[in-house]
Structure 1
Amino acid sequence: MRFTFMCKKDMVPIAGPHGRGKIAIVGAGPAGLAASGYLVCQGYEVDVYDKLPLPGGLMSFAIPSFRISINSIIEGVEDLRDNFSVKFILNTKVFKRDTVRRDEGDEFTKNTVDLRELLNNYDAILIATGTWKSRKMNIPGEDSKGVYTALEYLFLLKSYELGYLNHEPPKANKVIVVGGGLSAIDAAEVMIHRGADEVYLVYRRTINEAPAGSFEINRLRRLGVKWMELAAPKRIIADATGNVKEVELIKMKLGEPDESGRPRPIPIEGSEFTIEADMVIEAVGEIATSPFPDQEYLGIKQDRRGRIIVNDELRTGNEKVFAAGDVVSGPSKVGRAIFLGLNAARNIHLYLTTKRISKGGT
């Protein structure tokens, strides 16, 4: 995976600072890596901050290896570091000082840097911190042993496979995965690969509305995953030791479109039923995780979903700060994050070469 594909064919890699300007990129996921590749190709000195011990973001620590090869990510990172002098400052979380927010992956954080410090030391900043917080179903029994979010479980598994954790996450025989997006698909397929006897993929709408699409869902069905649509968990039932025993679900019907434009799922009264399970994986979405918990900080604003607000140039309300990737769009595919990272990098280059100031995100 080459992130310096925007470099001219005859460009000779430069060791050491490039001298055109210094840029900080916060987040070493697909958006941040794509942006760093573009900017070093334009001659900038680039420092990339990330809380994890290895660059790649969700590509390295949440997306299964059967989708994206970790070796290809490492090769791209080594190219940036060794041939173009991109500096990776790892195990370092950029976050507003004296505030706390627990996100996935924070256990690897050894240092914290305030965004204000970066503003004082760089010509421009790109925030590409992704979506590292899981949504919950908020149903009774959710705190039972054996209940995970998809991000939580996949993160533990990838961290173990990469050698950063000593203990692998538990396996299970009967698994219920809740959701219809790619995270749900990945979690269900991982559990099949890990030897589960039964894996249910439960979704409150139909296959036609599932974000992952019918191709991915039907592919899983051929692998043995049991697709269950128009159903939603109502409560998780634990045994005497607190471990998941079964899940009570309720059948749904589709109503008028909701704010997403899809038919609203409506519970059918009296249609409850139960399925035995010893693990439940919630894949009902992730939340954008900006480097500050407030609605506004340093002129940078976020919406009610935690997404950083930007203008058409991907500039925030602070003229030196841009944002890209899932922290702007919400959960998306890797290709979309790379696209936004490249666009942000182009606009940073334009800003630094012309000092053109337009109205940022409001």
Structure 2
Amino acid sequence: MKFLRCREIPPPTGKKVAIIGAGPAGLGAAGVLKCHGHDVIVFDMLPEAGGMMFFGIPDDRIQKDRIREAVRELMNAGVKFMFNTKVGRDISLEDIIETFDAVLIATGTWKTRRLDVDGEDLPWILPAAEWIVEVHMARYGHIPWSDVIKPHGTILIVGAGLTAADVATVLLTYPEFKERVEKVILSYRRTRELAPMRLSEFERLEKMGVEVLELTQPIKFYEKDNMRIARLIKMKLVKTPEDKRPKPVPIEGSDFELRVDYVFKAIGEIPTPPFEDKQHNIELNPDNTIKVDEHFRTTRPNVFAAGDVKHGPSLIGPALKSGLDAAIKIHQYLTGILK
């Protein structure tokens, strides 16, 4: 993995660029902009760079030493990092916009979608992506293990994307958890052929002992007689002309109870820009992505957006490419080519 896109850094242009977010989009953009001679400062809320790519993916799925090496290369080239700095909380976004010649927002998708069912806010219902991040924060020595919830017993995972696979992998392979977990169940409202997760990933999870409940969906969580209960309902798929794929519809009277100890929500994440809609004269789309034009420029002329906060949840490759493409547009803006 490589973020710096040149062997030698050209003379300084005198232009300053702030990048908010040190995930693949932000790091890729930092490398391109530094290679054009611009002064680059990256702000990130975490204690080291990499974003969800580093903290949100199990260790056996990506070579994290290579990410650290690529970040060190950026640092050695002169890219500055301000870690443990959450824009909007620790530093004002408006101050950054007014201080820098251009700003790139690449804050990703850090909030798990809600199920919108009764009991969802019980303390044993956990957001999967945020929990995985906490696990790795502890693993790498940034927070104490006492800050991390350690699930045990029977675990229900709701969803069938990469985050669902990742939380199952962490629970069943990390030594901090695998002796505590008795059973992992995955609930998905469609069939595996229609899931974001590949069929090979389902097979891998099942070999690890995961029980997959296709065509099921939680409708309520509650406690009864000192037991934690997930009530699920069976689903059927209905095809309509306006739908790209069959729609899951509940089967009346098919609901059933599962006794669980913890539940993980893994039904996707939503974009997390460091501001509310129309703050700082920057608009959001209905799905909470940042509204941009074909040049990655927001509704405020010197502010750009890239990565998942621009186009929604994606894989590392598309996020990185988005950052690279946005950096080229920022360079064109700084040099007067892009008006």
Q: Are positions 1:321 and 2:303 aligned together?
A: yes
Moved more, 306-315 or 296-305: 296-305
Cα deviation for residue 256 of structure 1 reads: 3.0
Q: Are positions 1:177 and 2:177 aligned together?
A: no
Q: Which residue of 1 aligns with 2:114?
A: 136
Q: Which residue of 2 aligns with 1:218?
A: 203
Cα deviation for residue 238 of structure 1 reads: 2.0
Of 227, 245, 248, which aligns to 1:262?
A: 245
> CA offsets per residue over residues 163-211 of structure 1, 9 Å max, x none?
1221243131211100011111111121121322211111001112211
What RMSD in Å do the two structures reach over aligned CA positions? 1.9
Q: Distance in 2 between matches of 1:70 and 1:349?
A: 29
Q: Which residue of 2 aligns with 1:87?
A: 80
Q: Verify the 8 A CA contact 1:144 1:238 in the aligned structure 2.
A: no
Q: Which residue of 2 aligns with 1:36?
A: 30
Q: Are positions 1:186 and 2:162 aligned together?
A: no
Q: Verify the 8 A CA contact 2:329 2:338 in the aligned structure 1.
A: no
> CA offsets per residue over residues 227-250 of structure 1, 9 Å max, x none?
111000111232456xx6231110
- Over 3 Å counting, the alpha-carbon distance change for 1:189 and 1:42 in structure 2 is same
Of 206, 230, 238, which aligns to 1:247?
A: 230
> CA offsets per residue over residues 281-320 of structure 1, 9 Å max, x none?
0101111111111x21333210122100111211111121
Residue identity opposite 1:332 in structure 2: S
Q: Distance in 1 between matches of 2:306 and 2:278?
A: 17
Q: Verify the 8 A CA contact 2:9 2:34 in the aligned structure 1.
A: no
Q: Distance in 1 between matches of 2:112 and 2:233?
A: 23
Q: Distance in 2 between matches of 1:355 and 1:120?
A: 21
Of 259, 267, 270, which aligns to 1:287?
A: 270
Q: Distance in 1 between matches of 2:59 and 2:211?
A: 23
TM-score of the aligned structures, taking structure 1 as reference length: 0.87
Q: Which residue of 1 aligns with 2:17?
A: 23
Q: For 2:61, what is the secondary structure of its paired residue?
A: coil
Q: Verify the 8 A CA contact 2:111 2:130 in the aligned structure 1.
A: no
Q: Distance in 1 between matches of 2:204 and 2:270?
A: 27
Q: Distance in 1 between matches of 2:20 and 2:337?
A: 22
Q: Are positions 1:303 and 2:249 aligned together?
A: no
- Over 3 Å counting, the alpha-carbon distance change for 1:58 and 1:258 in structure 2 is farther
Unaligned runs of 5+ in 2: none
Which of structure 1's runs of 4+ aligned residues deviate more than 4 A? 257-260
Cα deviation for residue 215 of structure 1 reads: 2.3
Residue identity opposite 2:8 in structure 1: V
Cα deviation for residue 257 of structure 1 reads: 4.8
Q: Which residue of 1 aligns with 2:8?
A: 12
Q: For 1:199, what is the secondary structure of its paired residue?
A: strand
Q: Are positions 1:341 and 2:334 aligned together?
A: no
Residue identity opposite 2:86 in structure 1: K
Moved more, 300-309 or 207-216: 207-216
Q: Distance in 2 between matches of 1:69 and 1:158?
A: 14
Q: Verify the 8 A CA contact 2:151 2:261 in the aligned structure 1.
A: no
Q: Distance in 2 between matches of 1:23 and 1:91?
A: 19
Q: Which residue of 2 aligns with 1:207?
A: 192
Cα deviation for residue 268 of structure 1 reads: 0.2
Residue identity opposite 2:54 in structure 1: S
Q: Distance in 2 between matches of 1:259 and 1:37?
A: 43
Residue identity opposite 1:84 in structure 2: A
> CA offsets per residue over residues 257-296 of structure 1, 9 Å max, x none?
5977222110000001122211100101111111111x21
Q: Distance in 2 between matches of 1:145 and 1:177?
A: 15
- Over 3 Å counting, the alpha-carbon distance change for 1:287 and 1:233 in structure 2 is same
Q: For 1:48, what is the secondary structure of its paired residue?
A: strand
Unaligned runs of 5+ in 1: 96-110, 358-362
- Over 3 Å counting, the alpha-carbon distance change for 1:309 and 1:249 in structure 2 is same
Cα deviation for residue 152 of structure 1 reads: 2.4
TM-score of the aligned structures, taking structure 2 as reference length: 0.92
Residue identity opposite 1:190 in structure 2: V
> CA offsets per residue over residues 16-61 of structure 1, 9 Å max, x none?
x833421100111110001101111111110001111111111222
Q: Which residue of 2 aligns with 1:102?
A: none
Q: Tell me the number of residue pairs that the alignment of Structure 1 and Structure 2 aligns.
A: 332
Of 94, 105, 125, which aligns to 1:127?
A: 105
Q: Distance in 1 between matches of 2:136 and 2:241?
A: 35
